Chains A and B, each alone.
Chain A
Amino acid sequence: MNEKNALLIESAFKEYYFNRFDLIHVPQRAAEREFGYQKFNSGMTRHLVVKNDKELHLMLMKEVPSDVYCSNAYYMFPNLPMSEKDWKGADMIFDIDAKDLALPCRKDHTIFKCSSCNNSATEFQSQCPKCGSGKFETASVICKNCISESKKEVTKLVDILTTDLNVQKEQIETYFSGNEGFHIRVTNADYEPLGSQERADLVDYIMFNGAIPESFGIRRQNNSKSLLPTFEEKGWRGRVARKLFSSKSKVPKVTREIIASGYSAFQVQLEEIKKTMGVRVDPKVTMDIHRIFRLEGSINSKSGLSKIQCTNLDSFDPFLEACLLGDDNVEIMVDCPLQIRLKNKKFGPYKSEIVSLPKYAAVYMLCKGLGNAI
């Protein structure tokens, strides 16, 4: 990122970190966790210990990081190198990101920016119409649909966690990721000691990966004796039954159809169910038991929005509630072919023009690579 842009963003972040102590806290058992941060145009600093809010605030004001992270793992010695940390356990974490959901709306809010001449377009082209270069960077700007689809995934996840896995509602914290999705953290002593492979299998459960027809009573041979799951069953068997039969009165008819179509047809049906009912989380995040994960309350430098907790997911509007930078105006150069909406105000489209924008909107443009400080 160019130096001028970094300076502008940094000063906006600094103001936030200075003024909003009320929003920025260390998670519970902070002293057992590893912290890390990144500064603009420099590498990652890891293996830090931050024991309490006061130390955290001090670090934020001194360093003004672009991004701040904290481990979901608990260690005996969080500040030692990885091999000597002595892993004790980890919260379960889930990352739901709109970009992984393959939504049709994605193409409507993705901007392609030519890497050599900076010309931007809203449509994918194999070559830049201005300079002929074939290299593009993409930026995805805010989209309500992406957020509401991500929320649906969160709801599915919370349902499985609470009904199948016996996690209590109070043990689940849902956060807006600060960009295009949600982070979920589960603190539950039973699941805390699970290693990476165990978590991988748990994620497959949540995503409905690897289900075989036999588990739902469909066998390769002797299918006439098949025992399909029933409506009332718990877990995936019940979920699959409710999906297949849709209503109790249809059970006999659908059962006959399923048995008649056979094993491979049922396998295809399971694949379909996975697509619609499996929760689309990023498995790598949940499996990684040494990850440092974005710290709640901190700002995401991909957007300038904050990672904040959603107490009421349904009504949560990230473009209002997570947009927390100052609103005094700054002049910047913007090239954004789409209109965006932040804090209920519309901005753009702008065609490479100098405009005066509230700081939160200006920073958003810079973070997305759609503008430059002047």
Chain B
Amino acid sequence: MLKIGVKDLAKYPFLTEAGEYLRNTGLSLEQLGHPDWQPIVEKAYGRIVVASSGQIYGSDLETLDNDSELLSFLVAIILLKSAGIATLIRRFSLAESRRAERYLQQDLWVSRDKKNLELPLKIIRDLFAVNVSIDNEDFVIKVPDYLHRAIHFHEKEWKLVNRRVANGLVYLSAHETVRLIRAELGEYIHEKIQSVNVDSVPQIFRQRVEDLVTLAKKFSDTTYVSSEYPPCVKHGIEVLEKGENLPHSGRFLLATYLLSKGQTVDQIAPLFKNAPDYNERTTRYQLDHISGSSGSGTKYQCPSCEKLRSESLCFAIPDCDGIINPVQFGKKRKNQ
């Protein structure tokens, strides 16, 4: 039997075993309400604040050995559920999945020599039903399991043709293996949080719950999705919101489309915040360039449907019939 210790739970606090561990310590929610536990509440709150700013909460490896890592995760969930704000929950899930992703990748690496890959591989297998095995230096998964996930990435190197394939298996590095399940990890944590029921909250949590509500107000101006947008644009926004990587051509589509709809660079920039490689300065620089307010002064036009189709960025629906550029979407044609 695989033994999962407190250190493992600190890295992967969303595992079912975390609940068991807690039960064994005999700690209850009521007890956590005791002022002695205030530092945990603060730690939990900090964890959410970090996540909401788009950053990844880093634990120092020393603290991985005590319960506070695991407990702060659980308390964070209680705080989030009591505040009940979807944006915060989403951002937290995303950040936590990125954090777990780091550990997963590390564990896959570190354990290589020790031949002790049981835990990371078990997590991947149990949570996402993907069997990963080892072949010499590489991790291998079945072609269909690979395709299911890789089609969500638009970079060329993720196309099957650019992978090492043999005997129905795809060969991956530790980093690539983890990258492949990133979206599912985020989803898993998100669902896990959604399924938690919180009926009463200890008094000492209250203040922080209120603080979260205040914090969330900051994000309320970043919701951009409008039902008026064409499917390709909606898709791009969704990809970014999930924290997935959108290829350059997809970002270009979003920028040119939204600019053509009269949005400003300031309004558009926050959209790219969740991108894995987000950098505020470069984003602004690129947006300014596309909008024509810097450099050559040329304002770039939204790419045509045909171009987007060739880049697998088109998700046409019947409403797209008869248009050749996304900017035409939803406009009633005159002679109809």
Q: Give the interface of A toward B (CB within 8 A).
A: 163-167, 190-191, 193-194, 197-198, 200-202, 204-205, 208-212, 214-215, 233-237
Contacts and interface: CB of A to CB of B under 8 A. Distances in A.
Interface in B149-190: 150-151, 156-157, 159-169
Contacts of B160: 201-202, 204-205
A197 B152 CA distance: 9
Interface in B125-171: 142-144, 147-148, 150-151, 156-157, 159-169
Contact of A236 (B142, B161, B312): B161
A193 B144 contact: yes
Given A194-B144, A198-B144, A201-B150, A165 B161 contact: no
A235 B165 CA distance: 5
Interface residues of B, number: 21
B168 A165 contact: yes
Shortest 4 CB-CB distances between A and B: which pairs? Answer: A166-B168, A234-B166, A215-B162, A198-B147
A164 B159 contact: no
B150 A235 contact: no
Interface of B: 142-144, 147-148, 150-151, 156-157, 159-169, 312
A237 B156 CA distance: 16
16 contacts: A163-B166, A164-B167, A191-B144, A198-B144, A198-B147, A201-B151, A201-B160, A202-B160, A210-B159, A212-B156, A212-B157, A215-B163, A233-B164, A234-B165, A236-B161, A237-B164
B142 A190 contact: yes
Contacts of B159: 201, 204-205, 210-211
Given A194-B144, A201-B150, A202-B147, A236 B165 contact: yes
Contacts of A167: 168
Nearest to B163: A215
Given A165-B168, A166-B167, A211 B147 contact: no
A215 B161 contact: yes
Contact of A165 (B143, B157, B163, B312): B143
Contacts of A208: 161
A99 to B, nearest CB: 23
A215 B165 CA distance: 12
Given A201-B151, A234-B167, A210 B161 contact: yes
A176 B122 CA distance: 46
Contacts of A193: 144
A163 B166 CA distance: 7
Contacts of B167: 163-164, 166, 234
A211 B161 contact: yes
B184 to A, nearest CB: 15
Given A164-B167, A212-B162, 15 more contacts: A164-B168, A165-B165, A166-B143, A190-B144, A194-B144, A194-B147, A198-B144, A200-B151, A202-B143, A202-B147, A208-B161, A211-B161, A212-B157, A215-B163, A234-B167
